[in-house]
Amino acid sequence: MADHGRKSGQKPPGIGLLTVLLGAVAAGPIMLYGLSATSDSIIAELRISEAHFGLLATTCFGAAAIGNATLGRLADRHSDLSLMAFIFVLAALALVLVAVPDGFSMLLLAAGLSGIAQSFPNGVTNRILLERVPDIRRIGWVGIKQSGVQVSQLVASLAFPVLALGIGWRGAALTVA
């Protein structure tokens, strides 16, 4: 049986690679989910309306749509390591910016960066799967990798409110970063 998905002589990929792929899909959206989980505190502290708070999602998803349309080709032109680092650094930077007490405009900037961070992990992670994971294991790995979005929702909805109780929503974002 052919073993497509890895070069001859290489050992099969393990749980470490799968964890990184899942994390890459989870990293971008965690900021928005975390802010949503602590929205009452944010709205009260910044004295904004629910509609203003909704602009965070609009900004995030708008940036993600633009990122998908323009950054998808990066997956074919740059190394796995540089692309994965870019995803994680952007996601962490978005979370760090949430902690900067500079008002709503900083949250909008953070939401835009979060959108970019979530705009192209699928292309990158799918290419990595095609190149490194044997055919027989690939579809299972795709399912686990794609569950990163739900893992992000779960982690954010558990971690942010608990952390926010002790260190506020900005501290929660900084801790998650």
H-helix or E-strand spanning residue 52 = helix 50-71
Q: Determine, yes or no, domain membership for 172.
A: yes
Number of domains making up the chain: 1
Q: Determine, yes or no, domain membership for 3.
A: no
Q: What percent of the chain lies above the pLDDT cut of 70?
A: 94
Q: Determine, yes or no, domain membership for 5.
A: no
pLDDT digits (tens, 9 = 90+) for 121-159: 988 999 999 999 999 999 999 999 999 999 999 999 999
In the predicted model, what is the mean pLDDT of the chain? Answer: 92
Q: For the domain that residue 66 is a member of, what is the CATH number?
A: 1.20.1250.20
Residue range 44-57: mean pLDDT, rounded: 96
Residue 106's domain comprises: 27-176
Q: Determine, yes or no, domain membership for 70.
A: yes
60/31 Cα distance (integer angstroms): 10
Query: How many CA atoms lie within 13 Å of 81's alpha carbon, on the beta-carbon side?
Result: 0
What pLDDT is stored for residue 146 in this prediction? 94
Residue 1 has pLDDT above 80, yes or no: no
Q: Determine, yes or no, domain membership for 153.
A: yes
Q: Determine, yes or no, domain membership for 169.
A: yes
pLDDT digits (tens, 9 = 90+) for 62-106: 999 999 888 877 777 888 899 999 999 999 999 999 999 889 999
